Amino acid sequence: MNNSIIPVVLSGGSGSRLWPLSRQQYPKQFLSLTDEKTLLQETLNRVHSLNSSHNIVICNEEHRFLVAEQLRELGELQKSSIILEPMGKNTAPAIALAAFNSLSEGEDPLLLVLAADHVITDVDKFISAITKAVPYASNDKLITFGIKPSKAETGYGYIQQGTMLDEDTYQVAQFVEKPNFELASSYLESGKYFWNSGIFLFRASAFLTQLHTYAPNIYNFCQKSMTLAEKDMSFLRPDEESFNQCESLSIDYAVMEHTADGVMIVTDMNWNDVGSWSSLWEISPKCENGNYTFGDVIHHTTTNSYIHSTNGLVAAVGVDNLIIVNTKDALLVANKDNVQDVKKIYEQLNNSGRTECLTHTATYRPWGYYERIDKGVGFEVRKIVVKPKEKIDLQRHFHRAEHWTVVRGTAKVIKGDETFLLTENESTYIPIGEIHSMHNPGSFPLEVIEIRTGPYLCEDDNYSADKS
């Protein structure tokens, strides 16, 4: 029997409670919040000692190039499968896609299901808990990992211990939703309830057997979706029509609450789901006054606060227990006791069509990124950064003209029938309707200032050269 472990990293969350750093097109798993590496990269680094030959990352369409680039930076892209969910359907269908994918390759490995946006600082205890769970998973048990609670936390779900099987190993009695403070306090006092980490270990076939029993709708449509899946570069695309017909359920609701084969390993690995600004403050290094600061920050008589600036100076005077996050297009000021309600602001922005919940001023592409500097009626100014040896595809626009000025590096430009080089302080004008592209032939990033002019400046005025 194959006891190799394949990490399955779920990377589909939006991280709305960490707005304004986390946004729909660039959510928290792709941010460097606790280390130089992003949360996704930290998650993959954490499992290196398991010597897995393969990784599976599940994400949505709009994040695919972010995932691929962050895997490439780690040197993990070649050993990873990136499965693109046609739409978000919660964790049970996502895990089913990974399980069917593993079986289709002629294997039946143990799947280690991990969220891409969690922090675990005691990696030795994490690996020890996984190792302890392997014999149970090898015998077709479905393992979940309970975290010893340090306080009456209302932001986490809980797992109640059942019959003891071994030291820190129990049958699962029940899963419970996020409680109010009184109930959470009673859980803590009882010593029988543990935080639900959202980490699982089980054999692919064992999970699918249980899924077929308790959630056949998900089983059937995910199986069909993977049977009809198509390969696209580094990505695997399940069939959209089939996948969209399956129910949207978490693994807890679909399987774990029903199965008699659930086992909980209890551990204390310094786990945090970084689900709010207060939880991020708790795990961040702080000064003697309890303040965490990032960027250009000055404070006086300020205590127990999280102050983060990526856009100029922030000065805090005489405040306590605050979250202050300053970005180029949004400023958040919140009391730490009310950070769960940041999601309400995010929802208001989304419902009113505001772009501040959707994307940052910088938008990332496989070739690099562009950042909006200014915008007005009939014009927009952008900074474009093209990575070495990368290029922007050949295209044309029918409603806008563009003026490019190179500020760093050398650009190889195609404009109509011409091909030429632009170096620093040189520029060119792209008229409306002209075919054009830009390539960075150099060894360091190419930086270009682009000025768009015209009656319509949006991204959908972008036609490939194949279109006439």
What domains are defined for the chain? Answer: 5-272 (3.90.550.10), 277-350 (no CATH), 362-464 (2.60.120.10)
The helix (H) or strand (E) run that includes residue 213 is helix 204-214
CA distance 123 to 129: 10
Q: What's the pLDDT score for residue 275?
A: 85
Residue whose structure tokens are 């030795």: 124
pLDDT at 1: 57
What pLDDT is attached to residue 260?
A: 93
Asked whether the beta carbons of 160 and 174 are under 8 A apart, the reply is yes
Residue 255 near residue 114, CB atoms below 8 Å? no
Task: Give per-10-residue mean pLDDT for the chain (468 aa).
Answer: 86 87 89 88 91 90 88 88 93 96 87 94 94 94 94 88 92 90 91 94 96 96 95 90 94 93 94 90 94 96 96 96 94 94 93 86 84 89 95 92 96 95 96 95 96 87 58
Burial class (CB within 10 angstroms; exposed 0-12, middle 13-18, buried 19+) of 188: middle
CA dist 255 and 154 (Å) reads: 24
d(CA 222, CA 238): 8
Give residue 464's pLDDT. 65
Residue for token digits 């319509």? 456
Q: Judge contact between 93 and 246, C-beta under 8 A.
A: yes
By three-state DSSP, how is residue 238 classified?
A: coil
Confidence (pLDDT) at 466: 47
Cα–Cα dist 293/284, whole Å = 9
The candidate with the shortest Cα–Cα distance to 226, out of 111, 106, 89, 98, is 98
What is the C-alpha separation between 232 and 86, in angstroms, rounded? Answer: 14
Give the contacts of 19 (CB within 8 A, at least 6 positions apart): 330, 332, 342, 343, 345, 346, 349, 357
